[in-house]
Structure 1
Amino acid sequence: MTQRSLHARHRAPRLALLAAAGLLAVGSATAATLTLNETGSSLLYPLFNLWVPAYTKANPEVQINTASTGSGTGIAQSIEGLVQFGASDAYLSDAQMKKNPEMLNIPVAISSQMVNYNVPGLNNVHLKLSGAVLAGMYDGRVRYWDAPALKQLNPGVALPHHLIVTVHRTDGSGDTFMFSQFLSFTDKTWEQKVGYGTSVNWPAVQGAIGANGNPGMVSAVRSTPYSVAYIGVSFQNQTQKDGLGEAMLQNRAGNFVMINKKTVPAAAAAMVPKTPKDERISMIYAPGAESYPIINYEYVMVKATQPNAATAAQIRKFLSWAVSTEGGNSLVFLKQVNFLPLPASARALTLQQINQIH
């Protein structure tokens, strides 16, 4: 027996033991694979699920896991260090930042929110709704679809005398944050009694329904006649497929507008220049004749300090790709979820934040 074959004979059992113990990597790519985890916003989730396969195909050294758990969970788990990316439609409050100064609020796109309804015979009519009337619907001051406040906004529309069924999120939600901000900014009673947040104490209203995530909101409205709900724009294709009504919302200028190629960019143009260095800003109820009143940055919450240099480098690389117009901010991705890319000034601020990750 040659020296080489003798050496191979002794090495084979050891390799088998290592393989059985899971200590032997199969191929260099497997050995180098680093796993990153994302959880949070159900509004941002469809975009992450478009991004990840495209990115990891070109970057096989990294694996990215995604989960739709609501912005509240995304914020909490990113702060706790349980995930690398906490997806959120809401930025951290001053109080949260004071407790967690290491957190970065990194915008990756601009989104908006619809108000949808299921009113038999009227789902093909874009009913006009204001923040104040929606606040009344959600706290019980406006109880029927033919209430005077709704008739006044929709003259000539045959509104039914049927109890309004409001649908709200039960999970901690950036969509709730956006919607409750809109109600707070437009109605003093709501501002004083309920306020805004990723979770709020919803007023006890007869027939009100709670739902989990944007998919749950869509399902609840679809299956419940005379219901109304707030739903993220990344689910617009589904709401249209299901034949749900979509409201025209009254903006700060008093005009009734819908989400389209003019109104969301108009609101963004009014608010993006006001973005501070840390990019925590509400873009709800923007000024401007054409501005759509419920738009926001979609955030990824990340700790500035990571456990090691390799993880920090992969996070920086992925996020830089995500906000690049040749990468994740390409219309190839954003059009599918009805988002807008970051304007150049916001992208510059975002890249400054990304570069703080170490």
Structure 2
Amino acid sequence: MAYPHESRASRLRWRKFAGATLGMAALAMLTSVSGFAQETTLNETGSTLLYPMFTTWVAQYTKSHPGVHVNLGATGSEAGIQQVIAGAVNIGASDAYMSDADIRQHPQIINVPLAIAAQTINYNVPGLNALHLKLDGPTLAGMYSGAVRSWDAPQIAALNPGVSLPHHAIVPIRRAEGSGDTFVFTQFLTFSTPSWESDHGYGTTISWPSVPGSTTAVGNAGMVKAIASTAYSIGYVGVSYRDSVAQAKIGTVALKNGAGEFVLPTTDSIMAGAASLGARTPSDERLTLVFAPASGSYPLVNYEYAVVSTKQHDPAMAAAIRRFLLWTIVPSEDNAAWLTAAHFIPLPPHIWELSQAQIQSIK
């Protein structure tokens, strides 16, 4: 599904950029990951946003590495992080990075970006789903706190002049499990709305306000289904489910960014959000890309992380994890095409170099 002003040229331009030569280091890495892998089973679980991408990666990787088997799970980002910490899986997929406190407690765990993604705000208001209603952070915070209760509330009407809004109660839908999508969504509410920051904050799990009629859904697929089946509802969905959103014929919000503009989650706007803040990425790559101040930027952008322990019990397992993760970020036309199909964006060169360095630390 393409939104207005998302050109084919912009998608090809980013693919060419991400697939450009990164020097001898990239060539060396390509050589190092192309060898035959011994019989190995890797276990992964976590982010439902990353799950479609991991499904594609594993299908392609095992074609050229027949000795490798990868078991995938879509259990939510929080579970992915916890399962890696517990040693129950080799790779945790997460839309959220670990907190400073968690890193201090588990210094052997690294958070490695594999791609750039985004979340969309979706709604089901009969007759208005094709309009791209405009919303901002404070209004969304009000909808999820109960301060904004109906679709024709003054806060929503002021953002959508000329739109005939129904006098019907809003049904906010949130994730039932610990979710990276919840992490990114509540970061946006926190950064844009002081009252939300002081009362609720952000996280993969938070203490949600009690709002009459609100409900929960499990996973991104569950969120799309819940919004589609619940008139007058609103929720947040990982961008890899954009095609499901289109098939469900639910609306996508034009969201107010840090520059005061209402933008849709296009390739260009997600790139602008990532580029605006990505230069600040530290060596451990734990950085929010939410609510960038740049013009044209979409405000719900995030790194998609592989959460991994650098201290593996078996050197052969460590090597297998390194080979697989390095392969997922190799700049290539094939990988760029797979990422595009999932509505993800490849890592820019300076982030690719940081991720490669972190992956090489797995021993």
Same fold (TM over 0.5): yes
CA apart distance, 1:327: 7.7
Aligned residue for 1:84? 90
Q: CA–CA distance in 2 between the matches of 1:282 and 1:119?
A: 31
Aligned residue for 2:328? 322
Q: What number of residue pairs does the alignment pair up?
A: 327
Residue 340 (structure 1) aligned to one of 339, 342, 345 = 345
CA apart distance, 1:146: 0.2
What residue ranges of structure 1 are gaps of 5+ in the alignment? 1-30
Q: Do residues 138 (structure 1) and 152 (structure 2) align?
A: no
CA apart distance, 1:332: 1.8
Q: CA–CA distance in 2 between the matches of 1:327 and 1:201?
A: 43
Aligned residue for 2:257? 251
SS at the partner of 2:184?
Answer: helix
CA apart distance, 1:286: 0.6
Aligned residue for 1:96? 102
Q: Do residues 234 (structure 1) and 212 (structure 2) align?
A: no
**Which aligned segments of 4 or more residues in structure 1 are displaced greater than 3 angstroms?**
none
CA apart distance, 1:139: 0.3
**What one-letter code is carried by the residue in structure 2 that aligns with 1:275?**
T
Q: CA–CA distance in 1 between the matches of 2:38 and 2:309?
A: 23
Q: CA–CA distance in 2 between the matches of 1:128 and 1:140?
A: 19
Change (3 A) 1:220 1:194: same
If asked which structure has higher relative contact order (CA below 8 Å, sep 6+), I would say 2
Q: CA–CA distance in 1 between the matches of 2:285 and 2:267?
A: 24
Contact 1:70 1:173 in 2 (8 A): yes
Q: CA–CA distance in 2 between the matches of 1:260 and 1:190?
A: 27
Q: CA–CA distance in 2 between the matches of 1:305 and 1:134?
A: 42
Residue 301 (structure 2) aligned to one of 271, 278, 295 = 295
Aligned residue for 1:35? 41
CA apart distance, 1:184: 0.4
SS at the partner of 1:112?
Answer: strand
SS at the partner of 1:39?
Answer: strand
Residue 74 (structure 2) aligned to one of 68, 77, 82 = 68
The structure having more radius of gyration, on CA atoms, is 1
SS at the partner of 1:262?
Answer: helix
CA apart distance, 1:272: 1.2
Residue 352 (structure 1) aligned to one of 342, 352, 357 = 357
CA apart distance, 1:268: 1.1
Q: CA–CA distance in 1 between the matches of 2:318 and 2:43?
A: 13
- State the Cα deviation string for residues 139-178 of structure 1 (Å, max 9, x = none): 0000000000000000000000000000000100000000
Q: Do residues 162 (structure 1) and 168 (structure 2) align?
A: yes
Aligned residue for 1:113? 119
Aligned residue for 1:52? 58
Residue 284 (structure 1) aligned to one of 286, 290, 297 = 290
SS at the partner of 1:166?
Answer: strand
Contact 1:321 1:327 in 2 (8 A): no
Aligned residue for 1:25? none
Structure 2 matches for 1:173-212, cutoff 5 A? 173-212=179-218
CA apart distance, 1:261: 2.4
**What one-letter code is carried by the residue in structure 2 that aligns with 1:309?**
P
Q: Do residues 275 (structure 1) and 308 (structure 2) align?
A: no
Q: CA–CA distance in 2 between the matches of 1:57 and 1:339?
A: 22
What residue ranges of structure 2 are gaps of 5+ in the alignment? 1-36
Tell me how large the CA RMSD over aligned residues is.
1.1
**What one-letter code is carried by the residue in structure 1 that aligns with 2:49?**
L
Q: CA–CA distance in 1 between the matches of 2:38 and 2:351?
A: 33
Aligned residue for 2:24? none
Aligned residue for 2:319? 313
SS at the partner of 2:191?
Answer: helix
- State the Cα deviation string for residues 192-225 of structure 1 (Å, max 9, x = none): 1110000011100010011111011011001000
TM-score, length of structure 1 as denominator length: 0.90
Q: CA–CA distance in 2 between the matches of 1:43 and 1:72?
A: 13
Aligned-pair identity in percent equals: 49
**What one-letter code is carried by the residue in structure 2 that aligns with 1:335?**
T
Q: CA–CA distance in 1 between the matches of 2:295 and 2:254?
A: 14
